[in-house]
Amino acid sequence: MTALAHRIRRTTAIAVSLAAGSTLALTGTATADTPSGNPCGPVASSAPVAKGLYQTAYSERNHVLWATSSVGEPPVTNSSLVKLDPHTLKVEATYRPPATDPETGAVEAVYGIAVDDEHDTVWTTNTRDNSVGVYSQRTGKRLATLPGVHHAREVVVDEKHNLAWASSFADGSVIAFDTRTYTEKRRVTLAGSSPAGMAVDERTGTAYATDFANDRIIEIAPRAKSPRLIPTGDSPLSIALSKDGRTAYSADQAAGAVSVINLRKGAVTRTVPTGAGAKSVATDPRSGRVLVANRSTSTVTVVDPRKGTVVDSLTTGANTNHVHVAHGAAFVTAKSGSGPEGQDLLHRFPLRR
């Protein structure tokens, strides 16, 4: 097997989950340094949403939570862009991606997701089709498909600079598209790299991608001639930034930990174990805490990055896949298949300051 095929195979195993039964529970393991008790609210809610539930993104403009779902290996015939009420988790609308092969019924399956409230759109990664897609938030209509993003994994939107950045895992590229015209604006390729998770600092316009294969972050500044490479932990899959943009946090899958990275120094300052299969990371801008979704332990770990301590562990059910913090809550997808019709579950944990 070639190195490229090996990397694609590893990410395919990440992107496509195995169904398993589970139940939701909220554990209260807050430490003494949390005076208000559990850092998450006392009541967590969950709902079966769709089979193959993958990622979520919140629209402040429309007060809507968007989710992606895709089931199985190619040809993927069951995929949807789902619109939900962020409070009740009730499905408000479901949109089917366009067909790519009438004979097999294959569709342009959606996986990663980001919201662009500036232009009222939703961006998706169409991993199996090596592209990213753009949808209208108002109608759910697919507006554009942008090719050349090989095994596209994640997409993030910089509304201030009218850019959407996507990770092209299979060919070592990080690509920026104009969110107004959908044209490609910049492409940075590093041979032998595997860009996966994405984040952007909208104040500076600097984009960050985790390099899963080489245990580092790829930093792309607007005026830099070449990317800056910053070390992380073992197999960084996801990345998030602190509110001030000075610190990055990477979910290191092989290490089962989160790395705290000083971006000015370009160095890891703390490593906090979170659980096997650390897959997704998000920050709570109000408290500064970091949340890590751990696939193998079926938990979300809440970390105080300043102290380097775990302040809580939330049990979500089998195959925790993604955590997204928005509107005072953590939204967590778990590919448990434990809904009444085999759907995966979406959990909502209210967050305290």
pLDDT score for 228: 98
Q: Within 10 Å of residue 144's Cβ, how many Cβ atoms?
A: 15
Residue 49 has pLDDT above 90, yes or no: yes
Distance CA 152, CA 110 (A): 10
- pLDDT, tens digit, for every residue of 272-311? 999 999 999 999 999 999 999 999 999 999 999 999 999 9
Distance CA 303, CA 259 (A): 11
Which of helix, strand or coil describes residue 36? coil
Distance CA 291, CA 17 (A): 21
Residue 52 has pLDDT above 70, yes or no: yes
**Radius of gyration (C-alpha) of the chain in whole angstroms:** 18
pLDDT score for 19: 29
List of residues 6+ apart from 277 with CB closer than 8 A: 253, 256, 294, 295, 296, 297
- pLDDT, tens digit, for every residue of 122-133? 999 999 999 999
pTM: 0.89
Q: Are 344 and 48 in contact (CB under 8 A)?
A: yes
Of the chain, the percentage scoring pLDDT greater than 90 comes to 86
- pLDDT, tens digit, for every residue of 179-190? 999 999 999 999
Amino acid at 148: G
